[in-house]
Amino acid sequence: EMPMAVELIEVGPRDGLQNEPEFVSTEKKKDLILQLSKSGFRRMETASFVHPKWVPQMADAEEVSAYCNELGITYIALTPNVKALERALAVGAPQIAVFVGASSAFNQKNVNRTTDESLEECEALFTRAQQNNVFIRAYVSMAFHCPFQGTVTFDEVDHVVKRFVDLGADEIDIGDTNGQAHPGEVYDMFARLRTAYPSTTFVAHFHDTSKLALANTYAAMLAGVDKFDTAVGGLGGCPFSPGATGNVATEDVLQMMSKMGISTGIHMAPETIAFARSLSTRIAGP
Ligand code: HMG
Ligand code: MG
């Protein structure tokens, strides 16, 4: 059954900008967040407390988060380890996102840990976040195909999902990090996960490398998913996922939902889309 309404979580300020080679000034990041905050998103991913040597673009996470506090918006901050969580707690981030690759080969490139080492680290991380009443989003990255190991099996995804469920994640976000999934496997993945974990909230996170992100969004919806990460202007990409392009464009998903009569509560000004695109050196023109 199709949902009547869906939640779109804007990830442009984080996933959208993290892969930009030229540093986007903190002022421009704030301006983007301000414009997006007026569009009606219930929450946004705005910062990443990763190591600035690994991802220089996110080096201003503290300042950006302080600005989000000023705006009073509900934002999500990426925290790959306890050190990151301490930084997020210090600025008072209301929601955090942990991320673990279903493909261990990718996880090693992304955070210098095997999948099981990362899951181990999650124990202390979840406990500390829960003590501070922080909402925990838990990503399973590279959940379909991996540029380093090839196909990713359902069991590899399930291994991470099960651990996240046991640790008490508030929502589990399944990522097609390199944008190679197709609608058939997306439908199967979410149908199987929702059957196996009926009381868990699943979110879908699609990159558009193969131009199938919108079709994948529809397929996930058919399987009962009603929360989607999107990035304004189709910005995005993971620096440790070679060749991967941006997330599914928020405006494309908005148009599809609107035509289908599914409500999102979001109205995005064309100026906001143009501004977002102007921040990217990888997107040609508006
Ligand atoms: P590491 O080098 O293994 O870290 O990096 P370490 O634990 O060995 O520590 C080394 C040094 O780094 C220490 O300092 C730590 O204190 C420091 P020293 O004692 O040598 O002076 N350190 C930190 N400093 C600041 N902030 C921190 C931090 N942690 C340690 N958080 C680490 C491990 C995870 C930090 C590193 O690999 C990293 O930052 N990786 C970035 C990965 C990343 O940002 N990837 C992109 C986001 S994931 C994504 O895009 C996918 C997603 O969109 C979903 C999808 O599409 O599927 C979410
Ligand atoms: Mg991503």
Residues 6+ apart with CB under 8 A from 158: 193, 196
pLDDT for 282 equals 78
- Answer whether residue 146 shows pLDDT above 80: yes
Q: Does position 3 have pLDDT exceeding 70, yes or no? A: yes
pLDDT of residue 243: 87
Average pLDDT over residues 119-139: 98
Instruction: Give catalytic residues, as residue numbers.
Output: 238
Phi-psi region of 3 (alpha: psi -120 to 50; beta: other; left: phi over 0): beta
Q: Please tell me the distance from the alpha carbon of residue 270 to that of residue 33, in angstroms, as a whole number.
A: 15
Measuring from each residue's beta carbon to the nearest atom of ligand 1, which residues come in under 6 Å? 15, 18, 48-51, 54-55, 80-81, 83-84, 99, 110-112, 139, 141, 175, 177, 205, 207, 238, 240
- Least confident span in 18-22, 40-44, 215-219, 247-251: 18-22
Tell me the pLDDT tens digit for each residue of 169-214.
999 999 999 999 999 999 999 999 999 999 999 999 999 999 999 9
Mean pLDDT of 63-73: 98
Ligand 1 atom nearest residue 79's Cα: 31
Counting from 1 in the atom list of ligand 1, the atom nearest the Cα of 176 is 57
What is the complex's ipTM, to 2 decimals?
A: 0.98
The average pLDDT across 218-242 equals 95
> What is the rounded CA–CA span in Å between residue 169 and residue 200?
9
The one-letter code for the residue type at 219 is: A
Under 8 Å between Cβ of 15 and 49: no
Give me the mean pLDDT over the 230-237 stretch.
94
Q: Whose CA is nearest to atom 17 of ligand 1?
A: 51
Instruction: Say if residue 285's pLDDT is above 80.
Output: no
Gap between the Cα atoms of 95 and 45, Å rounded = 9
Mean per-residue pLDDT over the chain, rounded: 96
Task: Please tell me the residue having the least CA distance from ligand 1 atom 22.
Answer: 51
Answer whether 26's CB lies under 8 Å from 63's CB.
Answer: yes
Collapsing DSSP states into helix, strand and coil, what is residue 34?
Answer: helix
Please give the pLDDT value at position 185.
98
Backbone angles phi, psi at 8, to 5 degrees: -100, 130
Contact 253, 217 (CB under 8 A): yes
Residue 286: per-residue pLDDT: 44
